[in-house]
Structure 1
Amino acid sequence: MAYLHIGRSVFDMNFTELGNLVLFNQNNATVWQLFDHPTDSLLVGQTLFPFQKLTSSTSSSNLTPVLYSLTVQADNTLVAYVESHLSLPYFRSYSNVEYVKLENESLLGQKIPIASSSSPQFIRLNLDGHLKAYEWGRSNWNTVAHLMTSDIGDCCYPMVCGNYGICSSNGQCSCPEEAIGNSTFRQINHTQPSLGCEYCNAKISDFGLSKLIDKDQSQVVTTLTGTPSYLAPEWLNSIITEKLDVYSFGVVVLEILCGRKNLDRCQPEEDMHLLKVVEMMRVAVWCLQSDFSKRPSMLVVVKVLEGSVDVESNLDYNVINPVIPRSIAAAGQQEHATGAATTLLFPSALSGSS
């Protein structure tokens, strides 16, 4: 004979085929059963009554409650909450729900695609806030249904993209694009965007090389590489920012408008739609501003091309060529001799004159 913490004596117990542990007194009356105390799961035949909760657990072996809960409220609605200082709902069923019970391969009238009714099955509120149905296969548990996703979609789950992450309409995770000074957001793990983003201070502004620097490094030595005709003027003063790529993009736009590479000085002018050419030239000139702080970001360039943002009106149309050091110019001429397009970009080359 054993005694429960409530002080009631137990003379017998039964562990049912459905997984319910039932304790009986000397009159064979039930004094306690496992099904009355749900944790993170519901088994077949188990009922979640009003004011009871399913609470997600840390892991299958650690039932410590964590962030999410599912409960039937007094107004007969099934609500899933993210637990914080305030309980915030992220799912609500507006149907008349008096209780929740997994029975006859259905939950709240939703058919669960289970291949065989003899297969063990259960539903669980997972660590990520998803309510899933499982069935036992030959050697493991298989997910057979996502019970809330069809109503709220992938992006409405809290923390679906981790801290600071943004979930797009197609379910892809990304970080906020805006930055304050040298501070910005970056993904914790680029191979797993759902882990979220972290707030960081950029150690250097050469974003093309920053990923090659270890976190404990504070300095990096870089050398000038690439095609000189695409290099922004501030390269010569070692002012390295993300606007370098904007300048290079401007050169590419000019090449597209001219219909040739910047080395082909003898190509004749062709007929084009003047208004479209002028607008694209304004975009190119904006990208080619000598003062790098006046160049747009690539995000703004994309919005201009989409027609949602206008080109800046106060532009400096005096686009100048930087004076390239002889060593770089010599390297460019050597590459040109082998067929590479590395000659400096002159105004005459872009205007079409020979």
Structure 2
Amino acid sequence: MVAEKGPLLFHLLAVLLLSSSPVLISSQEHKYISYANLSTSWINHPSRIDNGIAVYISWSPVLLRESNGDGRKFGCSFYCRNTNNECVFGVLIFPSVVNFTRYNYYGSPELVWSANRNSPVGVNASLQLRQDGDLVLENPDGTLVWSTDTRGKSVAGLNLTEQGNLVLFGRNNEVIWQSFDHPTDSLLLGQRLVTGQKLTANVSELKFNTGLFSLSVDRGRLIAYVESTPPQIYYASVLKALSYVEFTNGSFNGSVIPSGSVDQFLKLGFDGHLKVYQFKESFWTETADLSNEKLGPCGEPLVCGNYGVCSDGFCRCPDTETGQGSFFRQMDNWKPNLGCSLVTPISCNHSKRHRLLELKDTTYFAFEASFVKMSKGKSVEDCKSMCLGNCSCKAVLFMLDSWGENLGRKGGCLVLNEVFSIINKDSNASAVSNYNTTLFLKVQKSQAMSRRKKKDITIVASAIGTFAGLFSVIAYSLVHCRKRSKESKEMEGGFLERVPGMPTAFSYEDLKTMTLDFSKKLGEGGFGSVYEGVLDNGTKIAVKRLDGFSQVNESFLVEVETIGSVHHVNLVKLIGFCFQKSHRLLVYEHMANGSLDRWIFNKDERHCLPWHTRTQIIMDVAKGLAYLHEECSLKIIHFDIKPQNILLDEDFNAKVADFGLSKLIEKDQSAVVTRMRGTPGYLAPEWLHSIITEKVDVYSFGILVLEIFCGRKNLDWSREEEDRHLLEIFKRKAEDGALQELVDGKSEDMQLHIEEAEEMMKIAAWCLQHDSIMRPSMSQVVKALEGFVASEMNRKRNFFYTQVDDRQKASDTSVIMPSLLSGPR
């Protein structure tokens, strides 16, 4: 029921809500607004919620509601995570201990419904409850993002109920539209999931977009799907003839849940698990995993990734099961749970090269749930023919019951158009052990294998027909080919032997296919261009195609040897390489948000990185460099630390990239003499006499920190002469005690953390000492960032700075051309 309020009082309260700090403080009778009349609008001006955890969260409230009965609290709000440029309009659940009027938080709110999860908005987006009854979400430029499509349906107002349901009501308080009819990934206490509705998980823990997993009431059962064509079922409830399921305090769909406080909700996670969360001791804590007991250690669709075989929670590729090693390779040797990919992608144009790889005593997560869809009364050969004759078929599961009732050796076939994780039968629940199951995976012989076979047949036939006349020619050809092959293998084999922990070797044709003939160029890095590609499982990659030959060999060997044996969360991962004839290519993980320069040098205020993200990037880079300098078996100096070589993934985690200019030295060597490398503006003073240590990276890191917090380049020729050189300005401001004036003025959030930014710039000053001995090691920098070590701010502020006059400008800028690495990597 929606309470009736006078329009004048409502408008007064609306003004207070929009003009106050994040939560409205008003009269004793009306502590906050839980409803709105027509012709009301709200603008997204997010304020950060200090939630006591690392994840950046901000919000801009619209309506707030506290239950008069059980004390539950909800908010209808713009909600932003990680950045204010990716916000959704949705419903939040707050811990009941929250006091809205005093704005005190003991743990952050959780998003339980959203309107625009696939189309996030930024600052100044608007929500409008129009006179015609439509609730509309628009971008600042007026483009439509989302609406309830209730125009002309006699809507009287908007209400947030005590159950957390956002409702558009009519003149007689009837429900015209409600959020409970359009669930996203969560259910609240008392909320039902009815036939025709579904929960859809997020794509990741930090991203709102729809992911692979969904849950719905279908055919009278509660069924969980993983997205495919068609969708594959990985869970089906025992209870049947259902028209809805309801989440209550203590149960859901026949499953008993530990009873708790009213501060709880049920959520379908990005990993496909259905979990109950409850607020305990200042945090939202998982209290029940409703899917774990039914799925077991190997029942999740992606527990071992695509094509991965799960055995008691351990993952391997199908080749390991069969003893054949030519058809599959692991996506990441260090992370087998990421799955496997086909060495040769399946092509419908080469069906003659298709074959089925047999995996005995295996089953599939969709087996039980999809049993009714199996083609019955089929022999194993029938099943194999069904798959080989269907280009879309990627695998087929044959089932024969073990009780021997089918003397004709008939069974059922389950055809799969996409292969997720495979289950070793010994690892699954006893339910499937009653059946003999065999999985057949479709694979394709490589073109080289087919050509070799065809060539052998041709040679034999020719030899039989014209043995005497062509013997000498054939003998010469064989000797010549063997010699060339031997030389080629010695060259490539010698290279492979010198690369420890070899990453995956791709053929040039594979990479040409994956990159659509190198059609999408991401940018240009050291020694070559970078292109976007896609692996067989849909994973994006960045392929660096090395140009030239004299320089390429050196760069290629260094990069593969270095990155292939180095693994750290803050270093860009080398997935594979190509060393075939004259082709030299490197395959890296794809970094969705491109390089750092596009974010810190962007003049658009809407794309400014918040304080938390900038500090996290700095910490990530510091940890990556500390690993290179001190934790590898060989000390690795990067030589070219700059924003263009810092790449950001979809969650703005930073990784150090481009080891093409790296130099390896033994750990017991303190210094090395080498030619000058790197980029003007980031070079340490010792480059002038060419005696260098890893401290050159520390110096470049100091420049990087300044650029991140100041939001400008170290050398900016577009500015007036006295403002061109950031390091000189930094020196002056440090002497005047005015470092706060340098903090990026484009970011409101940075201005809110101006004192912390000043402390971080003091760490940068520590790194920028002219004398390399006075600079800290990167491990000391990490500890300083974590607050364990005080930075030693040199009173002399002896920063290195060399005046560059306009006559040098042309030559310098020819070296530091604007980076083309700013696209996704």
Q: TM-score, normalised by structure 1?
A: 0.53
Q: 2:196 maps to which residue?
A: 51
- Quote the Cα distance in structure 1 between the aligned partners of 2:493 and 2:233: 41
Q: Is residue 229 of structure 2 the alignment partner of residue 85 of structure 1?
A: yes
Shift of 1:180: 5.5
- Do 1:161 and 1:196's aligned partners in 2 also have CA atoms closer than 8 Å? yes
Residues 145 and 101 of structure 1, relative CA distance in 2, 3 Å threshold: same
Counterpart Cα distance in 2 of 1:140 and 1:209: 50
Structure 2 residue aligned with 1:186, among 330, 347, 352? 330
Distance in 2 (alpha carbons) for counterparts of 1:130 and 1:123: 10
Structure 2 distance, partners of 1:181, 1:167, is: 18
Alignment of 1:54-65 (within 5 A): 54-59=199-204, 62-65=207-210
Equivalent residue of 1:81, what SS? strand
CA distance in 1, matches of 2:244, 2:494: 57
Identity level (%): 40
Structure 1 equivalent of residue 373 of structure 2: none
Find the partner of 2:249 among 101, 104, 113: 104
Provide the C-alpha distance between the structure 1 equivalents of 2:267 and 2:305, rounded to a whole number of angstroms.
Answer: 21
1:175 aligns with 2:331: no
Q: Report the alpha carbon displacement of residue 70 of structure 1 after superposing the two structures with TM.
A: 1.1
For 1:36, the equivalent position in structure 2 comes to 181
**Deviation at residue 199 of structure 1 after TM alignment:** 4.7
Q: Shift of residue 207 of structure 1?
A: 9.7
1:158 alignment partner in structure 2: 301
Deviation of 1:83 (Å) = 1.8
Shift of 1:93: 0.9
- Cα deviation code 1:162-183 (max 9, x no counterpart): 1221111x21222231575766
User: Does the CA-based 8 Å contact 1:123-1:133 persist in structure 2?
Assistant: yes
Alpha-carbon displacement from aligned partner over 1:196-232 (angstroms, at most 9, x marks no partner): 234559x869999754456754998xxxxxxxxxxxx
1:65-101 alpha-carbon deviations (Å, 9 max, x no partner)? 2312111123x21111122111221111121333111
Change (3 A) 1:62 1:17: farther
* Deviation larger for 140-149 or 210-219: 210-219
1:309-342 deviations in whole A, cap 9, x for unaligned? xxxxxxxxxxxxxxxxxxxxxxxxxxxxxxxxxx
* Structure 1 residues 101 and 204: alpha-carbon distance in aligned structure 2, compared to 1, 3 A threshold: farther
Counterpart of 1:124 in structure 2 is 267
Cα distance in 2, alignment partners of residues 160 and 104 from structure 1: 30
Distance 1:198 1:42, change over 3 A: same
The equivalent of 1:196 in structure 2 is 339
Judging by fraction of residues, say which structure has more helix.
Answer: 2
SS for the counterpart of 1:11 is strand
Question: SS of 1:102's equivalent?
Answer: strand
Q: Does 1:134 align with 2:277?
A: yes
**Offset at residue 24 of structure 1 (A):** 1.3
Structure 1 209/93 Cα, relative in aligned 2: closer, same or farther at 3 Å? farther
Q: Kindly provide the amino acid, as one letter, of the partner of residue 230 in structure 2.
A: L
Q: How does 1:13-28 map to 2 (within 5 A)?
A: 13-28=158-173
In 2, the alpha carbon distance for the partners of 1:208 and 1:135 equals: 54
1:117 deviates by: 2.1
1:210 to 1:44, Cα distance in 2 relative to 1, 3 A: farther
CA contact (8 A) 2:198 2:217 kept: yes
In structure 1, the partner of 2:97 is none
Larger relative CO (CA 8 A, sep 6+): 1 or 2? 1
- 1:95 is aligned, of 239, 249, 265, to 239
Structure-1 separation of matches of 2:327 and 2:498: 17
Deviation, 1:156, is 1.6
Measured at CA, do residues 84 and 206 of structure 1 come closer, stay the same or move farther in structure 2, by a change above 3 Å?
Answer: same
8 Å Cα contact 2:201-2:268 kept in structure 1: yes
AA of the residue aligned to 1:186:
Q
Mapped to 2, the partners of 1:209 and 1:184 lie a distance apart of 24
Give the corresponding residue for 1:6: 150
User: What is the count of residue pairs matched by the alignment?
Assistant: 214
Q: State the shift of 1:107 in Å.
A: 0.4
Q: CA deviation at 1:113?
A: 2.1
Unaligned runs of 5+ in 2: 1-37, 39-129, 135-148, 345-491, 505-555, 562-825
Contact 2:276 2:288 (8 Å CA) reproduced: yes
- Tell me by how many angstroms 1:189 deviates: 4.7
Counterpart Cα distance in 1 of 2:168 and 2:287: 32
1:311-326 residue pairs with structure 2 within 5 A? none
Aligned CA distance change for structure 1 residues 59 and 185 (closer, same or farther; 3 Å): closer
The residue number in structure 1 matching 2:413 is none
Distance 1:17 1:51 in 2: 25
Amino acid at match of 2:176: V
CA 1:67–1:61: 2 relative to 1, 3 Å = same
- Name the one with the larger strand percent: 2
Contact 1:41–1:125 at 8 Å: present in 2 too? yes
Deviation at 1:9, TM superposition (A): 3.5
CA distance in 2, matches of 1:95, 1:16: 31
Q: CA deviation at 1:184?
A: 4.7
Would the alpha carbon gap of residues 135 and 186 (structure 1) be closer, same or farther in structure 2, given more than 3 Å must change? same
State the Cα distance separating 1:42 from its structure 2 match: 1.0
Q: Deviation at 1:38?
A: 0.9
State the Cα deviation string for residues 103-129 of structure 1 (Å, max 9, x = none): 122101212124x323x1111112221
Say whether the 8 Å CA contact 1:179–1:185 is kept in structure 2: no
RMSD: 3.2
**Long gaps (5+) in structure 1:** 221-354
